[in-house]
């Protein structure tokens, strides 16, 4: 039971529950719709202690999951590492050094390529486990095993994770909300636990619906979570809270272009104020740490991280998936597979003297060819938490909303709160830059480098006439890089050849979306008819 990542008594109850909900009992692997073992599910909800273990099992599914059906080589699917890595590899700000991420990086994925298939199956496995948890605690409350308010709090955690998982599916398998106001096909939004063959059959009748319908359900889940989750959790940043639900809503409404909604949700977390110092949330007391480094050096306990996925020495993404292993340099014990791209490192908007270039980037000493992200540093035990949402994101989400609504003053205050802790005094904005929106979007690229926020921004802004990429941007190839590391020069940036890199893909080309996996469409006639165009 190495993969149960929390330090608790590894009882047979949680082992059976996790295995039953994640295992595949037949040759098909579609959407984890195989029935779970009902007796083990029932036993998991017969006492408060076993219910807590079951909840920890849901988080374990979020952090570790499985890879090609094997939990022993899970690679951090979906949120322990894989979501961050895949979202970075779909963007241009980090560089694929070897072949490991080439399929995602170069957009050559198919209906059977491993990373996109495992994201689909891992996310739906998590969703089903969350749904089993919801049904289980509802029954436990009805039977007097736990109080109703305790059951509601557990349900809030499960709904938070269910919403997070469905949104990750939407940004890869569906077009953005901005495309025809969410009328394009979404993803199946699964709200019912699969516990019998009848449930499997019912599940196969649920189609993709629309993007707008999925977003409405996301918000319903998060509204419930906000209402029923506690402000703080005794187990720290790796358990969902009221503030986490609100923070995630600022992201969801941002993707919808609901700027009034972003501002309203942000106000609950203090972003409508004009502070004399840093912005501070009245819920959860979130505020930026003094150094941009602290959320990553004190990842278990800091004022800025709103919600993270826990990793530990006995349960993490492993050598082939953990954040430190993938993003770190080989001379420090990592694999050195993903570097920071000169596209970002040399960008003119990343000013000289920015602490994030000094503190959160690191050279590989041997060879000096690449610069790597330095947010994840435990190369031995791989215990770095995976950041899901930080207060810095809330501030920049709301800054963007205020800029869209024409409130330049508040937008600048929020932008500066994030930016000024890192840039030298002579580079700070005293008045709004000529293109404030562009400055906010550029700040996001620097602040969240290595945290998986680049693809979500490219996805939601793809059709924006001023700031969108109109698809997947062109990227650098490792083969274009010089051996001496001189390509990393933000003072006098080198010029790279116009050819030899990874080609861009237009929004209208089918590669913009991932395909629904082959196993899914083979077993599910409804989704077979709803496959993304361009894939067979």
Residue 264: φ, ψ to 5°: -65, -45
Other beta carbons less than 10 A from residue 395's beta carbon:
32
Domain range for 292: 12-525
452: left (phi over 0), alpha (psi -120 to 50) or beta: left
| Per-residue pLDDT tens over the stretch 279-328 | 999 999 999 999 999 999 999 999 999 999 999 999 999 999 999 999 99
The reported pLDDT for the residue numbered 3 is 32
Dihedral of alpha carbons 379, 392, 247, 174, sign = negative
pLDDT in tens, 368-379: 689 999 999 999
- Residue 398: give its domain's CATH number: 1.25.40.390
Predicted confidence (pLDDT) at residue 39 exceeds the cutoff of 80: no
Vertex 312 angle, CA 159 and 232, to 5°? 45
The H or E element containing residue 395 is helix 391-405
pLDDT at site 43: 84
Q: Is residue 456 part of a domain?
A: yes
pLDDT confidence band for 433 (50 / 70 / 90)? very high
| Residue 403 located in a structural domain | yes
Residue found by looking up tokens 């007391």 in the block: 285
For residue 5, being part of any structural domain is answered with no
CB 20 within 8 A of CB 26: no
Cα–Cα distances in Å, from 11 out to 53, 56, 209?
Answer: 8, 12, 39
- CB of 390 closer than 8 Å to CB of 417: no
Domain-located, residue 532: no
Spatial separation of the C-alpha atoms in residues 444 and 33, rounded to whole Å: 37
Band (pLDDT 50/70/90 cuts) for residue 452 is very high
> What are the helix and strand counts (H, E) for the chain?
21, 8
Q: How far is CA 428 from the centre of its chain?
A: 30
Rounded mean pLDDT of 139-164?
Answer: 98
- Residue (of 69, 63, 54, 64) closest to 22 by Cα position: 69
User: Which SS3 state, helix, strand or coil, does residue 287 take?
Assistant: strand
| Cα(359)–Cα(361) distance, integer angstroms | 6
- Per-residue pLDDT for 502 more than 80? yes
Nearest to 522 by CA among 118, 30, 27: 30
What CA–CA distances, in Å, run from 226 to 153, 156, 216, 247, 248? 10, 7, 15, 10, 10
Q: Is residue 2 part of a domain?
A: no
Residues 196, 197, 200, 204, CA torsion sign: negative
Instruction: Say if residues 88 and 386 touch (Cβ distance below 8 Å).
Output: no
4 in a domain, yes or no?
A: no
| DSSP 3-state of 372 | strand
The pTM is what?
A: 0.93
Contact of 444 with 79, CB cutoff 8 Å: no
pLDDT digits (tens, 9 = 90+) for 225-283: 999 999 999 988 999 999 999 999 999 999 999 999 999 999 999 999 998 899 999 99
CA distance 29 to 59: 21
Residue 366 pLDDT level (bands cut at 50, 70, 90)? low
- Mean pLDDT computed over 50-59: 95
Tell me the average pLDDT of the chain: 91
In degrees to the nearest 10, what's the CA dihedral of 339, 343, 345, 350? -150
Q: Residue 344 in contact with residue 446, Cβ under 8 Å?
A: yes
Distance between CA atoms of 76 and 330, rounded to whole angstroms? 20
From residue 387, alpha-carbon distances to 125, 221, 277, 447, 502 in Å are: 21, 21, 25, 12, 28
Tell me: pLDDT of 12 over 90. Answer: no
| Burial of residue 105, with CB atoms counted within 10 A of its CB: 0-12 exposed, 13-18 middle, 19 or more buried | buried
Of the chain, the percentage scoring pLDDT greater than 90 comes to: 82
Domain count, the chain: 1
Is residue 337 one of the residues assigned to a domain?
yes
Phi and psi torsions of 372, nearest 5°? -115, 155
Euclidean distance between CA atoms 295 and 498, whole angstroms: 38
Q: Is the pLDDT of residue 442 over 50?
A: yes
Specify the DSSP element, H or E, that contains 472: strand 471-472
Of 66-70, 89-93, 370-374, where does mean pLDDT reach its minimum? Answer: 66-70
Residue 436 lies in a domain: yes
Question: Could you give the CA distance from residue 488 to residue 485 in angstroms, rounded to a whole number?
Answer: 6
According to the model, what pLDDT value does residue 5 have? 34
Q: If pLDDT is split at 50, 70 and 90, which confidence band does 367 have?
A: low
């Amino acid at each position: 039971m190495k993969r149960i990542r929390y330090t608790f008594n590894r009882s047979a109850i949680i082992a059976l529950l996790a295995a039953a909900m994640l295992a595949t009992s037949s040759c098909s692997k579609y959407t984890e719709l195989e029935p779970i073992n009902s007796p083990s599910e029932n036993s998991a909800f017969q006492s408060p202690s076993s219910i807590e273990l079951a909840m920890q099992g849901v988080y374990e599914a979020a952090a570790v999951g499985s890879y090609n059906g094997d939990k022993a080589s899970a690679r951090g699917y979906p949120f322990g590492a894989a979501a961050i890595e895949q979202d970075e590899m779909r963007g241009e700000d980090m560089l694929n050094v070897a072949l490991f991420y080439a399929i995602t990086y170069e957009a050559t994925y198919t209906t059977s390529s491993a990373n996109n298939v495992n994201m689909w199956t891992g996310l739906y496995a998590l969703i089903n486990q969350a749904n089993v948890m919801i049904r289980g605690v509802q029954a436990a409350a009805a039977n007097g095993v736990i109080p109703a308010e305790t059951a509601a709090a557990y349900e809030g955690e499960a709904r938070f994770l269910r919403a997070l998982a469905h949104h990750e599916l939407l940004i890869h398998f569906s077009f953005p909300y901005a495309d025809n106001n969410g009328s394009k096909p979404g993803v199946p939004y699964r709200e019912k636990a699969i516990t019998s063959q009848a449930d499997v059959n019912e599940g196969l009748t649920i189609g993709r619906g629309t993007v707008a319908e999925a977003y409405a359900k996301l918000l319903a889940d998060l509204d419930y979570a906000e209402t029923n989750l506690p402000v703080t959790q005794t187990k720290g940043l790796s358990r969902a809270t009221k503030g986490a639900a609100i923070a995630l809503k600022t992201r969801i409404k941002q993707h919808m272009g609901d700027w009034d909604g972003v501002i309203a949700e942000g106000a609950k977390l203090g972003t409508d104020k004009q502070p004399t110092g840093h912005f501070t949330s009245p819920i959860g007391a979130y505020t930026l740490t003094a150094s941009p480094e602290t959320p990553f050096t004190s990842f278990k306990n800091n004022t800025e991280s709103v919600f993270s996925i826990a990793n530990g020495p006995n349960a993490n993404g492993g050598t082939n998936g953990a954040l430190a292993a993938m993003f770190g340099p080989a001379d420090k014990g990592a694999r050195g597979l993903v570097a920071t791209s000169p596209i970002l490192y040399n960008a003119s908007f990343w000013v000289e003297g920015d602490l994030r270039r000094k503190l959160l980037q690191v050279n590989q000493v041997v060879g000096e060819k690449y610069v790597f992200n330095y947010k994840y540093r435990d190369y031995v035990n791989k215990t770095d938490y995976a950041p899901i949402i930080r207060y810095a994101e809330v501030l920049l989400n709301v800054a963007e909303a205020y800029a869209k609504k024409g409130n330049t003053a508040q937008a600048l205050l929020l932008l500066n709160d994030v930016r000024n802790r890192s840039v030298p005094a002579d580079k700070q904005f005293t008045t709004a830059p000529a293109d404030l929106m562009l400055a906010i979007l550029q700040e996001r690229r620097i602040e969240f480098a290595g945290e998986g926020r680049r693809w979500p921004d490219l996805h939601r802004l793809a059709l924006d006439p001023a700031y969108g990429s109109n698809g997947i941007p062109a990227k650098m190839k490792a083969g274009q890089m010089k051996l001496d590391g001189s390509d990393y020069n933000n003072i006098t940036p080198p010029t790279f050849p116009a050819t030899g890199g990874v080609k861009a893909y237009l929004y209208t080309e089918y590669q913009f979306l991932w395909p629904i996996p082959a196993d899914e469409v083979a077993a599910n006639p409804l989704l077979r008819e709803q496959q993304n165009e361009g894939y067979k």
